[in-house]
């Protein structure tokens, strides 16, 4: 077994999460299509006491979408101990996915999955692959890197070392989008680094912080790390948002509608069976 084969989520935690997801389906009358880890554990820089940030997509029975009473399109559970669980209705998810929402692309790329409807995931990922998401992604990660650099690093001495991760990961995402625009964007920091050409000093600085954070709940404070400061600032400066692409919004909206209807109707085998004709001998008219 290699390191990559090791499940980063303890089996006891997976069982707790599975129990919570089962209860959500039962109590809310929904079917969960996908449940993933979305926080620092999926990003690859969790501390021993990091929360489990579980995010899921769900679908309701068809009749509930035809009601005049609109239901909330999110399900949120109170944070309990180290479990933070909430999800989005598939209608909300597809609408935002069609607008290239970067958060949803991260959920679909998460390396840690708790529940998967394989056919539904395949269909949603196929739709996502046709969404021109690079412009929205560059805007998202540039804003994220700049905000964290401004709030937690610039003008501070010492700095809280763990805050570097929240600027370094979006900076790595920007470098990926700049140098590998045709390739799917990984979610985990390690996977991003593996696909980028980084200087040895930069790799050493990030790797040292990663090793410490995986062992300690808090990294504490320390002096500014010049090689990280320069990398973050350079990627923010190099992040040029492309001009408008050909307008495909109408086509994407129509495709999202078709996919939504298909997912709401449920598994194909349950809906494609021909109806048995009524036997007139069993149900006489007179």
Q: What is the CATH number of the domain that holds 70?
A: 3.30.460.10
If asked whether residues 87 and 22 sit together in one domain, one would say yes
* Cβ atoms within 10 Å, residue 276: 6
Q: Would residue 283 count as lying in a domain?
A: no
- Two structure tokens written together for 234: 């350079």
- Paired residues of 34 in beta bridges: 57, 116
If asked whether residues 191 and 147 sit together in one domain, one would say yes
If asked whether residues 123 and 259 sit together in one domain, one would say yes
If asked whether residues 181 and 250 sit together in one domain, one would say no
If asked whether residues 124 and 256 sit together in one domain, one would say yes
If asked whether residues 15 and 122 sit together in one domain, one would say yes
Q: Would residue 47 count as lying in a domain?
A: yes
- Paired residues of 83 in beta bridges: 52, 80
pLDDT for 6: 56
If asked whether residues 146 and 219 sit together in one domain, one would say yes
Please count the helices (runs of H) and the strands (runs of E) in the chain. 13, 7
Q: Would residue 275 count as lying in a domain?
A: no
Q: Would residue 2 count as lying in a domain?
A: no
If asked whether residues 126 and 138 sit together in one domain, one would say no
If asked whether residues 63 and 157 sit together in one domain, one would say no
Contact between residue 123 and residue 262 where contact means Cβ atoms under 8 Å apart: yes
If asked whether residues 175 and 253 sit together in one domain, one would say no
Contact between residue 185 and residue 131 where contact means Cβ atoms under 8 Å apart: no
Indicate the number of domains in the chain. 2
137: alpha, beta or left? (left if phi > 0; alpha if psi -120 to 50): alpha
Q: Would residue 285 count as lying in a domain?
A: no
- Two structure tokens written together for 150: 């401004």
- Two structure tokens written together for 270: 């349950």
Which residues, 6+ apart, have CB-to-CB distance to 240 below 8 Å?
A: 138
Cα 221 to Cα 117, 153, 157, 163, 214: the distances in Å are 43, 11, 9, 10, 16
Q: Would residue 103 count as lying in a domain?
A: yes
Please list the rounded mean pLDDT of every run of 10 residues in the chain (286 residues). Answer: 60 96 97 95 88 97 91 95 96 93 94 94 92 89 96 90 93 96 92 95 94 79 92 94 64 89 74 43 36
Which residues, 6+ apart, have CB-to-CB distance to 79 below 8 Å?
A: 51
Q: What are the strands, taking DSSP E only, across 79-190?
A: 83-89, 113-116, 159-160
If asked whether residues 169 and 70 sit together in one domain, one would say no
pLDDT for 252: 82
- Two structure tokens written together for 202: 């930069």
pTM of this prediction?
A: 0.81
Q: The domain containing residue 262 runs over which residues?
A: 10-131+246-267
If asked whether residues 121 and 141 sit together in one domain, one would say no
């Amino acid at each position: 077994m290699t390191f990559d084969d090791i499940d980063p989520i303890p089996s006891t935690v997976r069982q707790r999460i599975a129990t919570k997801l089962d209860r959500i389906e039962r109590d809310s009358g929904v079917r969960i299509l996908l449940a993933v880890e979305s926080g620092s554990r999926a990003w690859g820089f969790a501390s021993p006491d990091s929360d489990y940030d579980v995010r899921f997509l769900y679908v309701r029975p068809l009749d509930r979408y035809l009601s005049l009473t609109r239901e909330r399109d999110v399900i949120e559970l109170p944070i309990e101990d180290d479990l933070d669980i909430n999800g989005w209705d598939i209608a909300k998810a597809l609408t935002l996915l069609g607008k290239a929402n970067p958060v949803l692309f991260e959920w679909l790329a998460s390396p840690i999955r708790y529940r998967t409807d394989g056919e539904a995931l395949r269909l949603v990922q196929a739709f996502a692959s046709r969404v021109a998401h690079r412009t929205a992604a560059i805007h998202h990660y540039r804003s994220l890197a700049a905000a964290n650099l401004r709030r937690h690093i610039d003008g501070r001495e010492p700095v809280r070392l763990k805050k570097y991760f929240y600027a370094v990961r979006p900076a790595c995402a920007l470098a990926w989008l700049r140098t590998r625009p045709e390739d799917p964007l990984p979610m985990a920091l390690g996977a991003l680094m593996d696909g980028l050409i980084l200087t040895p000093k930069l790799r050493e600085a990030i790797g040292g912080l990663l090793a410490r954070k995986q062992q300690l709940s808090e990294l504490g404070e320390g002096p500014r790390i010049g090689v990280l400061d320069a990398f973050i600032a350079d990627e923010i400066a190099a992040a040029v948002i492309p001009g408008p692409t050909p307008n495909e919004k109408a086509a994407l909206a129509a495709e999202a509608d078709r996919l939504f209807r298909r997912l709401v109707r449920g598994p194909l085998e349950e809906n494609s069976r021909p109806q048995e004709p009524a036997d007139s001998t069993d149900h006489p008219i007179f």
